[in-house]
Amino acid sequence: MKKRFDEKAIVLENRRINDRYYKLVFSSAPLSRNIRPGQFLHIRINEGQDPYLRRPFSYFRTSPGKVEILYEVLGRGTLILAEKSKGDPLMVMGPLGNGFRTAIGKRKRVLVAGGIGVPPLVNLAEQFSSDYLLIGTKSKAEILPMAELKKVKAKVLCATEDGSVGFKGFVTGVLEKVIREEDSRQLFIQTCGPKSMMKAVMAIAAKNGIEGEASWDESMACGVGACLGCMVDTKTGLKRACADGPVFSFSELVP
């Protein structure tokens, strides 16, 4: 069994970096080692019972003794998280989940990210050479600042729904363009983001005979495979997103 830790981490930094994301940095030696992109952390937001359940967040970046996450404020948990300050303690469990495939042979890696799928795919593109990182947002103000993308080893192409930067429309439009320009048999797609986006990506991949995998992020309770609260429908039966995933191959997922 893979080793996991439940650590009292200390917040080093917590700030808003653009219209969409906050960045939280905390110190922890064990949680910063031997991480596969796509793995996640389960964070106890408060010491009390509110909110009762931990909240899952992907690894965004690690350095010795430090972990960074990027998060969007959506509900009560992330609202409270956004109020944490330097020096505050935080109980953090991890690393959890399987993570993305890193070895894909000679194929070209195409990463398709949206929303909460951006942090794990930037992490992957920083650590493993990728050909394309496609990012979809509503507008320019939501795209990560360049400083957060400068270590990415991939061509970054953005799509905005309002056309304020890059391709106007959904990120799947950019994916179709890449597929037209490349030899589709040589591509391998990895995606994370809203389910509607991932389903559209999988449909395009199926039409073009391209293999890939998706991080199927379900809401989670225990995060360690015990409560069966995060089940994903796969062709070989129900699987636990937290322990068997969150990354599943396109061929495994029920479209």
Q: Which residues bind ligand FAD (CB under 6 A)?
A: 40, 51, 55-58, 69-72, 74-78, 116, 119, 217-220, 246
For residue 186, the tally of other CB atoms under 10 A from its CB is 12
Nearest to 215 by CA among 112, 104, 61: 112
Q: CA-based angle 191:193:196, to the nearest 5?
A: 100
Nearer to ligand FES, 173 or 225 (CB): 225
- Residue 78 binds which of ligand FAD, ligand FES, none (CB < 5-8 A, kind-dependent): ligand FAD
- Pair of tokens at residue 193: 């983001």
Nearer to ligand FES, 203 or 228 (CB): 228
Nearer to ligand FES, 212 or 245 (CB): 245
- Residue 56 binds which of ligand FAD, ligand FES, none (CB < 5-8 A, kind-dependent): ligand FAD
Nearest to 33 by CA among 56, 68, 62: 62
- Residue 101 binds which of ligand FES, ligand FAD, none (CB < 5-8 A, kind-dependent): none
- Residue 89 binds which of ligand FAD, ligand FES, none (CB < 5-8 A, kind-dependent): none
Collect all residues with Cβ–Cβ distance below 8 Å to 31 and sequence separation of at least 6. 5, 7, 9, 41, 67, 92, 94, 95
CB of 99 to ligand FAD, least distance (A): 10
- Residue 70 binds which of ligand FAD, ligand FES, none (CB < 5-8 A, kind-dependent): ligand FAD
Residue with tokens 């219209």: 19
Q: Is the peptide bond before 255 cis (omega within 30 degrees of 0)?
A: no
Q: What does the H/E/C string look like for 14-26? A: EEECCCCCEEEEE
CB of 217 to ligand FAD, least distance (A): 4
| Tally of CA atoms within 13 A in the half-sphere of 55 that contains its CB | 21
Nearer to ligand FES, 54 or 109 (CB): 54
CB of 67 to ligand FES, least distance (A): 21
Nearer to ligand FAD, 52 or 168 (CB): 52
Collect all residues with Cβ–Cβ distance below 8 Å to 108 and sequence separation of at least 6. 131, 132, 182, 186, 187, 188
- Residue 226 binds which of ligand FES, ligand FAD, none (CB < 5-8 A, kind-dependent): ligand FES
Footprint of ligand FES (CB under 6 A): 220-223, 225-230, 240-242
Q: Which residue is nearest to ligand FAD (CB)?
A: 75
